[in-house]
Structure 1
Amino acid sequence: MKKLGNFVIQYSKSTLIFIIGITIISIILITKLEIKPGFLDLLPSDDPYVKTYEEATKSFKSVDSIIIGIEGSKENIIKYIEYISKKLKNVDYIDAIYYKNPIDFISKNIFLLSSDEEQKFLKKLYTSSNLVDFFNALNMMFEESDNRHKVTEQDKKRFEYMIESFNKLLISMKNEDIGMVKDEFLNMLFGEKYMLSKDGNFGMIVIRPTISSNDINKVVKLVNSIENIVKKNAGTYNVKAGLTGTLVIARDEMVVSDRDMAVATTVSLILILIIFILGFRSFRYMILSVIPLILGILWALGFTKITIGSLNIMTIMMGAILAGLGIDYSIHIISLYIELRNKNFSKIDALKGVFEKNVRGIIAGALTTAIGMGIFAISSFPGFREFGIALSSGIIFTLLAAIFGLTALLKKFGTKYKDPGNAFIIDYNIKKYRSISIAVLVILILLSFFKIKNVEFDKNMMNIEAKGLESIKLNEKILEEFEFSPDNTVFISRNLDEAKVLYDKLKNLKIFSQIDSISLFLPETDSQIARLRNAYEAKNTKIVNKKLDQKKLKAEINKLNFNLTKTALSINLMGYKNLAEKLKDIVKSGVLIQIANKKTENILKLQNIIIPLINDLKKGLNSTELISIEKIPEEIKSNYLGKDGKVLTTAYSNGDMWNADYQKEYFNQLNKLNLKNVSGTALIFLRVIQVSAREGKKILLLTIIFIFIILLLDMKSLKYAIIALLPMIISIILVLGVMGWFDIKFNVVNIIALPLIIGIGVDDGIHLIHRYRRENDLRTALKSTGKAITMTTLTTGAAFGSFILAKYRGFVGFGLLLLLGVTFSYLITVFIVTSILSYMEEDK
């Protein structure tokens, strides 16, 4: 180190000129550095999910959606949906808006789109001449239920909706509510016109954009534009409206994380400056220490542009992380420099003393920290690999800036100095308190081991999000009201035949409550031919007005009561208790008996509502043309067909995609099909979690091994290398113990803290052991080096601890674990490493 010190001191001017040149080049490179915060950039380009997602966005513009959730009365929601859907049509980056179901197409082709089991019911319904025929048709519907409902999740959901509408229809008939009778009859046949919840008090609009989740800047612009329009007009219609969906959550994450990074950086800088003033009592040395830090970060960003080309959502944190770690090297250099100057050393001799006594320990500490981050660079996971390259290079560059740049600056500007006093100096009777220190540590370790087994990975990934986000609440609301998750899964087929085969496979999976496929609108030709014949016969059957026979009507209604009870028993045995209960409730309510007992004039009034309505539907019935792809309206077809002939199928899960227990079941079922062309934003995010968890274990082990090798090479002593490792190892145990005691769980963000704690945790021990071996006096070494490691612990703690102020709970957990790790490492170094060294000192 003496030769290096002489070189730097002798060529300080040339060093500064070289530094200025490198800095200018770095700044030019930084202006071309891109930020790519999308999750696609975290996974390998050959990952099947990534390849399918990119293929889908090329063929179908976008596979993601933005969902508007609306709460209010049914009437107000429908008015608002109609208005806002038209208002949004001219917004940039919107490809399509889905706010109502294609009822016109469905009602026209009801026979062709319905299953073979439903044909008898439809034919009877469409040829009804009075209420006796009408209730006879309803009986047919429930008589066939055993065969019809063997039973996919989609069947279950449709049957449940039909029962709800059927019940409302009966109630409206009992109350003789003309408008409601018409609406609920149509709803029972064709489904709700608008996307409304069962009680009608929550509605949805689905927006398909022309951009993907990876184009985050355009996503933010689009979401903000939609949100402004939606919020601005909600009050006019007396509804409450908000946005959700993966794109909206991505926008919210970016906004919250930008705010959090700004707050954390500001708070940490203020705290670091306060620590400097208290420790050195000098603005001059505070400024001199910050300059190398800034230079190192600039060089690291320039290097990132050359090696990686862009920043992702993990490497974007490098500035905040380096601010907490990179300042340490300046602190160690300035602390010893001022100490030596106060002992009447000249500038040159003080700088030489720094190189002789401190720089080797600084380099060893920096290397262990760089390894803690650099091991990420060997990961096959691009997110970790880029994180490792950016952060490890940043540590090395801030180290070089401190060794070369700060030395040159101190030679020129380090003339003035003052006695900083006793601030942060550690001086206590080590031998007197060592037994107590070790005893306390043993107790803490035992308490930690008692609870470490309780530490687990958080099963709900939404728990890392900021509290109170409207997008998260609406996401949960939609899952509750519609029993499907807005986080969809997409499948790509090469042609229509392949899409039909895919649909037949997917509909049998229990994880999907809704499958949006072109197959729903394009039945097999053979089936259509037979069904078209039924439609033709129904449409051309002449209706002879029959006199209403109330005895027959009562008989049909009583039969319907019996069939409802029988169907309830049947589906209860199949495991669908909720559906069975709803049918039983209809029977128990007595609504059918009340209809049967109505006076003749009231019965005729109902008949004069329903039969003309059926006749009107019959007039628009398609009874001559098969449905072909050309016959499907463009607004339906565009949702499935890509410009290159590929077909998109979208499936919505019936559980929370962010819950780990549900994820396990989800992937188990999906993997059984061995499908290749499957993707989705949620799947990509979950892949990031899976890969990061797998790679994280490997990185932890390799980090410990490489750090131990560096310590052996540096200290040339197995004994001292093991002692230097103790703060890191014990701090990890204590951190896990705290997590176990206070039910703090790991997640995809805070788990990154462990390798960082390993890299940072050995620094204090390295500096103390190096100084002890040079001074041969433990108390002197602690008194001198103790101030520097106290200040570096405080500055690092300030940088990482400031994350606790974040709204994004992932950052809070990340900052908390790092703060605990840094604090424990410091305390173990000051009290335990010194105690061990004191025992070794007696044995000499």
Structure 2
Amino acid sequence: MGKGILRGLLRIHLRRPAWLWAALAALTLALGLGVLRVERRLDLMSLLPTDNPVVRASIEAGVGQQELLWLAAEGGEADLEAREAWAEHLVDALLTDGGVPLNGMGGEGRISPPIPVPEARGASLWPPLLAAGSLLEGDAAVTRLVTEQAYALAPMLLGDRLAPLRDPAEVRRRFQATAKALASPDPARARLAQLDPLQLAQGVSERDATRLRVLSDARAFPLKLRTGYLVSRDARFVLVPLVLDFPSGDARATSRLLLWLGQGATGPLPATASRAQVLRALAPAEGRPFAIQATGAHAIAWHESHILTREVLLSLALSFILIGLVYWIGFRTLAGYGFVVIPLLLGMLWALGLTGWVLGRLNLMAAAFGAVLLGVGDDVGILLFSRYRDERQAGRSKALALRAALLSTGPGVIAGGLATAAAFLACVAAPFPGFRDLGLTAGLGLLACMASSFLVLPALLLTLDQGRGTFAPAAGAHAALPPLRPWKPVAAAVALVLAVAGIKGLRWEEDLRRFRQQGNPALALQESLGRVLGAGLQPLAVQIPLDDPENLPRLWNALAEPLRKEGIPMPAWQVPEPELRRVLASDTWYNRTLEEAAAAGLDPTALERPLAALRRSAQDPLNVPRSLQSLIPPMKALPERGAPRGAAWKPAPRADAPAPAPATFTLPLRLPEAAQERVQPAIEAAGARMVGTRPLFKAIKAVARDALREVILLALGAVLAVVAVFGRRPRFLAMALLPLAASQAGTLGILGWTGEPLTFLSLVAIPIALGVSVDTAMNLLHRSRLEPGAAAKVARVNAVCAGTTLAGFGGLVFSGYRGLRGLGLAALGGVALALLATQWLLPWVLEKWPLHRRRP
């Protein structure tokens, strides 16, 4: 069947029909439109498997989803007034144009939801910060909210110390003392009475450890609250935290927003914004002698996206240069370089168009597909061109030379290309989006490059070959083949043993944040602010299950103990005795207390909500987390991170996807990463779990490990199936496994010897090397089955193919992004050792056990 297709293709090319070029032009135009649909998602969030419960919970806790964008003006005491004026002007502009109230309060006495300004993908002031500032200014609505929340927590914080409230005389006495304090000329005393009309604070001991810790932290808090912004106590930073309601990977929206904020947050968002425009807007300007800096997930991802885009393009350009150098070294001429590169570039355009129509995006891993296509996709053109050139130099006509290239070399090329594409397409079944998107992108890209080479390269050869230069008959075309050097298989075997030994030094690193680009200003600012605050800005929370209300106090106390050791002022959960709970939850106590308030001259209406909250918490322990959760409006539902809107292909849901998680309470924390490592085992042992940036990456480690196992097995199965169908003999299959095994040893061994850790990105080199290793091996084994001495005949072209693959990934080795650098290094090791096995070890095996059948 394959030979029939190649014969039909040969007849089409020999007739040189005009419709072929018209069809190629139409196909290129259709796929070129798909290029415009490709969305760049070059941030770490593009790799997340959102069906994992920890990953999903971490995203809902704020990792990359509605995180804060921190605008910072850095300076000293001399320009503090100017920086505060800038912050006040920005806050006023957002308050004027937006719907967030000045005190941060929304409907029903709760914190207002973020309201983006000036449109859906704009920014909002942080309502909790507005509410905190309004509390210091004595805002009545905020004061009532604080009282209500404090009384909702009272049964949990005080327990049996609420017993005096059962005595009407004691309640009357407290209300009378409150009325007297409210009339006091001392504003501090009046304010405390307003916040605590029942004087529940009397139940907290002066020596209570949690109380002392809270007071100590409040005095040592490194930031001063202002309306809508913060000032560090050393006057170094003026910070404006803003809520963004779009994913951090949307670099285009972040660009527009940063430009708008840098220009003073006036008018509509700009339609477009380049990196240069944003940097100019944030730089010092007339009327603002200081620069504006930005950090947070959106700012970090914005810098990463632009830097990665530039580095990927530079890596591709460097790879083109290196490929041309390898081509010149291998063939001692650049005359045929264009014959290989033109179909390759066309195939890469088709591949990017297919990505736009089928997938719609490029994530951080899939961004490496250009190196894959440069390194692997050109093998088809090199093998076909080399065979055609050899036949022409031997004196054969163009038709016979093309026939030999398509019908003799073509089947092996197709088998190798299909095996390589199958190795990548096997990644589509992986639950890890990084593997899945790269597999689909690179697999379709290799098929596109193979199709363009078979459709375009023969037409170029027949049209441009004039029988001169590199196509002229050569006197040495029939020179004797060099003998096999005995030291070569020994050297290849030694290299293989060394690679296997290097695997012992391999180490794993699951946190990709440690492999971000050097010189990312947003990342540097985040680290500086982390030192000022005493902890990182990354989201972190403890997720507590609420499926067992009676066990909730015990679970809380089990969590509080390890957190208190790390300096978090977590109070112990006190459980009131049953009779006290019954009294405080009764209508009788509630109505009587309101009557006593009215008798003491207080407004009973203002006490209805706080007393109702205390009553509910006494009756049901779950009211404590419910009250805190209702304080701030919940985030909108997490969108599915499947294919973008309009993409033709979306990953099918996995059969083993987890069921919806039970009700939980998410408690935000602020802990250094070292402390997170210490407390996480205790938290998990108690029955809760940590969510946030660091727990998210730890969860991905397990997902990636399982996905990698699936990918390797599927890729190996796909490669073996293609080789078995093509080879049809166990000996052929066994020989093909030799470079395949060498490629895996080289991939892992070079990382072990160089000390570069294995990461999610460098894991991609495993299926890459798996598919690439069989490419040149198939060419050698197929030729060996047809003619004797094939190893010497294909040695040069195989070396050029492998060399261009090394050059394709060589550009990644110079990347400033350590994740991509590790991927390039791992791919180099795998491809290099597979080349040695194919060039030096496999010919010795073929000499001992030949595939060529001698015919009489």
TM more than 0.5: yes
Measured in 2, the distance between the counterparts of 1:439 and 1:664 equals 50
Give 1:774 shift: 1.9
- In structure 2, the partner of 1:669 is 683
Measured in 1, the distance between the counterparts of 2:477 and 2:814 equals 26
What is the 5 A alignment of 1:382-781?
A: 382-419=433-470, 431=484, 433-434=485-486, 436-458=487-509, 460-489=511-540, 508=560, 625-626=606-607, 640-641=632-633, 651-656=668-673, 662=676, 666=680, 669=683, 688-777=700-789, 781=790
Measured in 2, the distance between the counterparts of 1:371 and 1:741 equals 30
CA contact (8 A) 1:720 1:769 kept: yes
Measured in 2, the distance between the counterparts of 1:714 and 1:21 equals 33
Measured in 2, the distance between the counterparts of 1:400 and 1:422 equals 34
Question: 2:849 aligns to what SS in structure 1?
Answer: helix
Measured in 2, the distance between the counterparts of 1:479 and 1:423 equals 70
CA contact (8 A) 2:61 2:539 kept: no
Give 1:267 shift: 1.5
Measured in 2, the distance between the counterparts of 1:631 and 1:718 equals 80
CA contact (8 A) 1:292 1:406 kept: yes
Which of 328, 333, 337 lines up with 2:384 in the alignment? 333
Q: 1:462-500 CA deviation, whole Å, 9 max, x = no partner? A: 2210112222223233333323331214799999xx9xx
Measured in 2, the distance between the counterparts of 1:20 and 1:691 equals 43
1:212 aligns with 2:247: yes
Compared CA separation, residues 458 and 56, structure 1 to 2 (3 A) = closer
Scaled by the length of structure 1, what TM-score is found?
0.69
- In structure 2, the partner of 1:105 is 135
Aligned amino acid, residue 640 of structure 1: I
CA contact (8 A) 1:724 1:762 kept: yes
- In structure 2, the partner of 1:271 is 322
Give 1:284 shift: 6.0
Question: 1:819 aligns to what SS in structure 2?
Answer: helix
Compared CA separation, residues 38 and 199, structure 1 to 2 (3 A) = closer
Give 1:263 shift: 0.5
Q: 1:420-475 CA deviation, whole Å, 9 max, x = no partner? A: 899999999654x42x3344444444444444223111254322101122222232
Which of 797, 801, 804 lines up with 2:813 in the alignment? 804
Compared CA separation, residues 261 and 46, structure 1 to 2 (3 A) = same
CA contact (8 A) 1:513 1:653 kept: no
Give 1:626 shift: 4.1
Question: 1:355 aligns to what SS in structure 2?
Answer: helix
- In structure 1, the partner of 2:411 is 360
Question: 2:336 aligns to what SS in structure 1?
Answer: helix
Gaps of 5+ in 2: 95-116, 163-173, 190-200, 263-278, 571-580, 614-627, 639-663
| Bigger RCO of structures 1 and 2 (CA < 8 A, at least 6 apart) | 1
Compared CA separation, residues 311 and 503, structure 1 to 2 (3 A) = farther
Measured in 1, the distance between the counterparts of 2:181 and 2:296 equals 40
Measured in 2, the distance between the counterparts of 1:357 and 1:428 equals 20
- In structure 2, the partner of 1:148 is 208
RMSD of Structure 2 on Structure 1 (CA): 5.5
Which of 815, 820, 823 lines up with 2:829 in the alignment? 820
Measured in 2, the distance between the counterparts of 1:207 and 1:748 equals 31
CA contact (8 A) 1:337 1:354 kept: yes
Percent of matched pairs sharing the same residue: 20
Measured in 2, the distance between the counterparts of 1:645 and 1:743 equals 42
Give 1:74 shift: 6.0
Gaps of 5+ in 1: 134-140, 166-183, 517-523, 541-620
Aligned amino acid, residue 333 of structure 1: L
Question: 1:212 aligns to what SS in structure 2?
Answer: coil
- In structure 2, the partner of 1:222 is 257
Give 1:826 shift: 1.4
Measured in 2, the distance between the counterparts of 1:503 and 1:220 equals 48
Measured in 2, the distance between the counterparts of 1:701 and 1:829 equals 23
1:64 aligns with 2:62: no
Measured in 1, the distance between the counterparts of 2:392 and 2:183 equals 106
Compared CA separation, residues 824 and 198, structure 1 to 2 (3 A) = farther
Measured in 2, the distance between the counterparts of 1:650 and 1:229 equals 39
Comparing 815-824 with 230-239, which one deviates more in the overlay? 230-239
CA contact (8 A) 2:64 2:297 kept: no
CA contact (8 A) 1:804 1:815 kept: yes
Compared CA separation, residues 276 and 742, structure 1 to 2 (3 A) = closer
- In structure 2, the partner of 1:558 is none
Q: 1:59-92 CA deviation, whole Å, 9 max, x = no partner? A: x996211123555446755752452352364575
CA contact (8 A) 1:84 1:230 kept: no
Measured in 2, the distance between the counterparts of 1:82 and 1:821 equals 58
- In structure 1, the partner of 2:303 is 252
Measured in 1, the distance between the counterparts of 2:683 and 2:321 equals 52
Question: 1:366 aligns to what SS in structure 2?
Answer: helix
Aligned amino acid, residue 729 of structure 2: S
Which of 78, 83, 86 lines up with 1:80 in the alignment? 83
Q: 1:387-436 CA deviation, whole Å, 9 max, x = no partner? A: 222221211121122123322332232333424899999999654x42x3
Compared CA separation, residues 200 and 301, structure 1 to 2 (3 A) = closer
Comparing 41-50 with 339-348, which one deviates more in the overlay? 41-50
Question: 1:380 aligns to what SS in structure 2?
Answer: coil
What is the 5 A alignment of 1:123-134?
A: none
Comparing 661-670 with 458-467, which one deviates more in the overlay? 661-670
CA contact (8 A) 1:451 1:741 kept: yes
Aligned amino acid, residue 820 of structure 1: G
Comparing 13-22 with 747-756, which one deviates more in the overlay? 13-22
Question: 1:408 aligns to what SS in structure 2?
Answer: helix
Give 1:768 shift: 1.6
Which of 776, 789, 802 lines up with 2:798 in the alignment? 789
Question: 2:240 aligns to what SS in structure 1?
Answer: strand
Give 1:756 shift: 0.5
Compared CA separation, residues 477 and 825, structure 1 to 2 (3 A) = same
1:22 aligns with 2:23: no
Aligned amino acid, residue 301 of structure 1: L
Q: 1:217-243 CA deviation, whole Å, 9 max, x = no partner? A: 102332455465885359989978632
CA contact (8 A) 2:41 2:362 kept: yes
CA contact (8 A) 2:813 2:821 kept: yes
Measured in 2, the distance between the counterparts of 1:643 and 1:757 equals 43
Measured in 1, the distance between the counterparts of 2:433 and 2:65 equals 24
Question: 2:524 aligns to what SS in structure 1?
Answer: helix
Measured in 2, the distance between the counterparts of 1:459 and 1:304 equals 28
Aligned amino acid, residue 293 of structure 1: L
Compared CA separation, residues 484 and 352, structure 1 to 2 (3 A) = same
Measured in 1, the distance between the counterparts of 2:668 and 2:457 equals 59
- In structure 2, the partner of 1:161 is 217
CA contact (8 A) 2:125 2:242 kept: yes
Give 1:679 shift: 7.2
Compared CA separation, residues 818 and 474, structure 1 to 2 (3 A) = same
Report which of the two has the higher share of helix. Answer: 1
CA contact (8 A) 1:424 1:790 kept: no
Measured in 2, the distance between the counterparts of 1:743 and 1:440 equals 24
CA contact (8 A) 1:213 1:681 kept: no
Measured in 1, the distance between the counterparts of 2:90 and 2:55 equals 34
Compared CA separation, residues 493 and 74, structure 1 to 2 (3 A) = farther
